[in-house]
Chains A and B, each alone.
Chain A
Amino acid sequence: MTAARRIAIAIWLAAMAGCVLIVARTQFTADLSAFLPKTPTREQQVLVDQLRDGAVSRLILIGIDQGDAASRTRVSRALAARLRQDSQFALIANGEPVGLARERDILLTHRYLLSPAVTPERFSEAGLRAAIGDTLDLLASSAGLLAKALVPRDPTGELTVLLMRELGGASRTATENGVWVSRDRQRALLLAHTRATGADTDAQARALAAVRDACAAAEHEVAMAQPTRLLLSGPGVFAVEARSTIEREVKRLAALGIVLIASTLLIVYRSLAGLLLGLLPVACGALAAIAAVSLGHGIVHGVTLGFGTTLIGEAVDYSIYLFVQSERNRDDAWLTDFWPTIRLGVLTSVCGFAALLFSGFPGLAQLGLYSIAGLITAATITRFVLPALLPASLRIRDLTPLGQRLVQLISRARRWRAIVPLLVAIAVVVLFVKHDKLWNRELGALSPVSLAAQDLDARLRADLGAPDTRTMIVVMAPTEEAALQGAERVSAKLQPLVDQGVIAGFETPSRYLPSETTQLARRASLPPPQELRVSLERATAGLPLRADKLEPFIDDVEAARSGALLTRDDLAGSSFALAIDSMLVKRTDGWSVLMPLQSPDSGPSAFVIDADAVRKAIDGTNASFVDLKVESDKLYGGYLRDAIWQSVAGLAAILVLLALALRSPARLLRVTLPLAAAVLVVVAGLALAGLKLIIIHLVGILLIVAVGSNYALFFDRSARGERSGPPPRMLASLLLANFTTLIGFGLLGFSSVPVLNAIGTTVGPGAVLALVFSALLAAPGQAERA
Chain B
Amino acid sequence: MIPKVRRSADLRAVIAGFVALLLTALPAGAAGEWDLAQLMELLSHNKSSEARFVERKYIALLDQPVESSGELSYVAPDRLEKRTLRPKPESMVLEGGMLTLERGGRKRSLPLADYPEVGAFVESIRGTLAGDREALQRAYGLALEGDAAQWTLTLTPSEPRMAQIVQKIRIGGSHGEVSSIEILQADGDRSLMSIQKAGRPDKAPAS
Give chain A's interface residues, CB within 8 Å of chain B. 55, 59, 91, 93, 95-97, 100, 103-104, 107, 136-146, 148-149, 151-152, 163-164, 166-171, 175-178, 191, 467, 469, 507, 544-546, 549, 575-576, 578-579
Contacts and interface: CB of A to CB of B under 8 A. Distances in A.
B14 A143 contact: yes
A142 B101 CA distance: 9
Given A100-B5, A149-B10, 8 more contacts: A97-B6, A97-B114, A100-B6, A139-B66, A141-B88, A142-B18, A167-B108, A549-B61
A646 B1 CA distance: 43
B123 interface: no
A146 B113 contact: no
Q: Residue among B3, B90, B98 with the most chain A CB within 10 A?
A: B3
A622 B101 CA distance: 40
A59 B2 CA distance: 12
B104 A164 contact: yes
Interface in B85-130: 87-88, 90, 92, 97-98, 101, 103-104, 106-109, 111, 113-114
A151 B1 contact: no
Contacts of B6: 97, 100
A546 B63 contact: yes
11 contacts: A91-B3, A100-B6, A104-B5, A138-B88, A139-B66, A140-B66, A141-B84, A141-B88, A143-B90, A545-B62, A579-B2
A178 B63 contact: no
B14 to A, nearest CB: 5
A164 B106 contact: yes
B203 interface: no
B111 A175 contact: yes
Given A170-B108, A175-B109, A145 B5 contact: no
A107 B62 CA distance: 26
Contacts of A163: 5, 7
Contacts of A507: 2
B82 interface: yes
B4 A152 contact: no
B206 interface: no
B62 A139 contact: yes
A136 B57 CA distance: 11
A139 B101 CA distance: 15
B82 A142 contact: yes
B67 to A, nearest CB: 6
Given A97-B114, A145-B10, A167-B108, A140 B67 contact: yes
A148 B3 contact: no
Contacts of A545: 61-63
Nearest 7 Cβ contacts at the A-B interface = A178-B113, A140-B66, A544-B64, A544-B62, A140-B68, A178-B114, A544-B63
Contacts of B68: 140-141
B204 interface: no
B59 interface: yes
Contacts of A151: 61
B207 interface: no
Given A137-B87, A544-B64, A166 B108 contact: no
A575 B2 contact: yes
B185 A145 contact: yes
Q: Residue among A100, A104, A143 with the most chain B CB within 10 A?
A: A143
Interface of B: 1-11, 13-14, 17-18, 55, 57, 59, 61-68, 82, 84, 87-88, 90, 92, 97-98, 101, 103-104, 106-109, 111, 113-114, 185, 189, 191
B interface secondary structure, majority: mixed
Contacts of A152: 61
A103 B90 contact: no
B17 A145 contact: yes
Contacts of B82: 142
B3 A142 contact: no
A146 B10 contact: yes
A140 B4 contact: no
A593 to B, nearest CB: 16
A93 B1 CA distance: 9
Contacts of B65: 544
Contacts of A138: 88
A59 B65 CA distance: 50
Given A104-B5, A546-B63, A146 B109 contact: no
Nearest to B57: A144
Contacts of A544: 62-66
B12 to A, nearest CB: 10
Contacts of A169: 2, 4
A55 B1 contact: yes
Q: Residue among B13, B68, B98, B189 with the most chain A CB within 10 A?
A: B68
A191 B1 contact: yes
A575 B111 CA distance: 22
Contacts of B63: 544-546
B189 A148 contact: yes
B103 A143 contact: yes
A222 B14 CA distance: 32
Contacts of A176: 97, 111
B103 A141 contact: yes
Contacts of A469: 1
A739 B107 CA distance: 70
Q: Residue among A55, A140, A145 with the most chain B CB within 10 A?
A: A145
A271 B179 CA distance: 105
A143 B114 contact: no
A144 B62 CA distance: 12
A142 B62 contact: no
Given A141-B90, A178-B113, A148 B5 contact: no
B59 A139 contact: yes
Nearest to B116: A178
Given A96-B114, A143-B14, A146-B14, A137 B106 contact: no
A178 to B, nearest CB: 4
Nearest to B64: A544
Given A140-B57, A141-B90, A170 B66 contact: no
Q: Residue among B5, B55, B63 with the most chain A CB within 10 A?
A: B5
Nearest to B62: A544
A104 B111 CA distance: 19
B13 A103 contact: no
A167 B57 contact: no
Contact of A467 (B1, B10, B64, B92): B1
Contacts of B10: 145-146, 148-149
A68 to B, nearest CB: 16
Contacts of A575: 2-3
B2 A142 contact: no
Nearest to B189: A148
B185 to A, nearest CB: 7
Nearest to A93: B3
Nearest to A100: B5
Nearest to B65: A544
Contact of A177 (B1, B64, B88, B113): B113
A167 B4 contact: yes
Nearest to A159: B7
Contact of A171 (B4, B7, B17, B92): B4
